[in-house]
Copies of this chain bind each other. A is one copy, B any other.
Amino acid sequence: MPNRRTIIGVIGAGQCDAATEAQAFEVGKLLALRGCVLITGGRGGVMRAASEGATGAGGLVIGILPGESAEQANEFVELPIVTGLGEARNVIIARTAHGLIAVGGEYGTLAEIAFGLKFGKPVVSLNSWPVDRHILQVSSPGQAVECVLKAIEEGHGQAGAQAKNG
């Protein structure tokens, strides 16, 4: 029987500046070094940088693609899951990951954060949307990774979720 590893979602914009990319790369790398599987939306920007970081450190990278072809995955995705569902694929990332790390991000990232909170997952923000006190604010990639893993271990996220419905 296989051991199931912890799966962490890294979410953020498909286009971003070099500083955000560098942070996403570092988050991906640290997650891989901690033995986590990385799940992202499989495309560019934050998704690609985190995947590159994870791959370079020997990690496994899953990409949940919005379109109809594996061709749209960035080159660091090892397992492209082709959904054809457009933005609805965000729900799959939020449901599959044990915790989420948002790095910067635009409206798609905000939707993902909202789903993560709704599903009771720990959500860590590195310069992302500060919309809710249940989001764990951090200021470095290292803190982001430690914070999400600690919250998963302690069963956080679930509590916030149970107080909310709608």
Known: A84-B91, A107-B115. A55 touches B165 (CB 8 A): no
Contact B84 A88 (CB under 8 A): yes
**Contacts of A95 on B, CB cut-off 8 Å?**
68, 82-84
Contact A86 B68 (CB under 8 A): yes
Pull 25 A–B residue pairs with CB atoms less than 8 Å apart, ordered by A. Answer: A2-B77, A4-B70, A4-B78, A13-B166, A14-B165, A15-B166, A64-B81, A68-B86, A68-B119, A83-B91, A84-B85, A84-B87, A84-B95, A86-B91, A87-B119, A91-B91, A106-B118, A106-B164, A106-B165, A108-B114, A110-B113, A110-B117, A110-B131, A111-B114, A111-B118
Task: Give the complex CA separation of A107 and B129 in angstroms.
Answer: 13
Interface members, chain A 64-97 (any B CB < 8 Å): 64, 68, 70, 75-88, 91-92, 95-96
B-binding residues in A (CB < 8 A): 1-4, 7, 12-16, 37, 45-46, 55, 61-62, 64, 68, 70, 75-88, 91-92, 95-96, 105-111, 113-115, 117-119, 129, 131-132, 164-166
Contact A79 B106 (CB under 8 A): no
Contact A81 B92 (CB under 8 A): yes
Q: Which of B2, B16, B92 contacts A82, CB < 8 Å?
A: B92
Contact A110 B114 (CB under 8 A): yes
A108 to chain B, nearest CB (A): 5
